[in-house]
């Protein structure tokens, strides 16, 4: 198993992993080739993939605004879970954010995603009860349910 920085050559394998992972919350704009290209241009050092030989079996995307970090679209292929891959990807992302001067990182997990919520709890991410998450789409987005 190897973990490397994600690049655009990895997009197709990453996208296939995402669409085979239930509950990813993808959409047709942000998660398109162009959307991910824009994200990676802004965050070239904070996104990682895990490969078994040449097959992408895990991914974590993280980035920051110069003040706070955020983690997006973390996934590990079902047949590769419980091997420490997600924990290793998380460590790589958090280390990369820390190296860029980021001191705090956040993420969003759907309430119904028991697996994801359990994982992030184990990684030390706690639920904030003192705020409301708000969202507004500035363009029409089509949800790609997985």
Give the pLDDT band (50/70/90) at residue 50: very high
Secondary structure letter of residue 32 according to DSSP: S
Q: Which tens digits make up the pLDDT trace of 19-44?
A: 999 888 899 999 999 999 999 999 99
Residue 65 half-sphere exposure, CB side, CA atoms within 13 Å? 5
Domain boundaries, the chain: 2-144
Q: Which tens digits make up the pLDDT trace of 84-143?
A: 999 999 999 999 999 999 999 999 999 999 999 999 999 999 999 999 989 898 998 898
Domain 2-144: CATH architecture, name and number where available: 3-Layer(aba) Sandwich (3.40)
H helices of the chain, where?
Answer: 11-19, 33-42, 85-99, 114-122
List of E strands, the chain: 2-5, 26-27, 48-52, 55-64, 69-76, 105-107, 143-144
pTM of the model: 0.94
CB–CB of 61/47 below 8 Å?
yes
């Amino acid at each position: 198993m190897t973990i490397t920085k994600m690049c655009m050559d990895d997009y197709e394998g990453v996208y296939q992993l995402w669409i085979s992972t239930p509950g990813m919350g993808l959409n047709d704009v942000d998660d398109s080739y162009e959307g991910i290209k824009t994200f990676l241009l802004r965050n070239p050092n904070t996104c990682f993939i895990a490969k078994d030989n040449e097959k992408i079996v895990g991914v974590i995307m993280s980035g920051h605004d110069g003040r706070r970090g955020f983690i997006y679209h973390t996934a590990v292929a079902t047949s590769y879970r419980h091997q420490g891959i997600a924990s290793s990807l998380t460590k790589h992302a958090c280390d990369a954010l820390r190296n860029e001067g980021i001191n705090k990182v956040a993420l969003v997990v759907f309430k119904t995603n028991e697996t994801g919520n359990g994982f992030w709890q184990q990684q030390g991410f706690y639920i904030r009860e003192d705020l409301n998450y708000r969202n507004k789409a500035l363009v029409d987005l089509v949800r790609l349910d997985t």
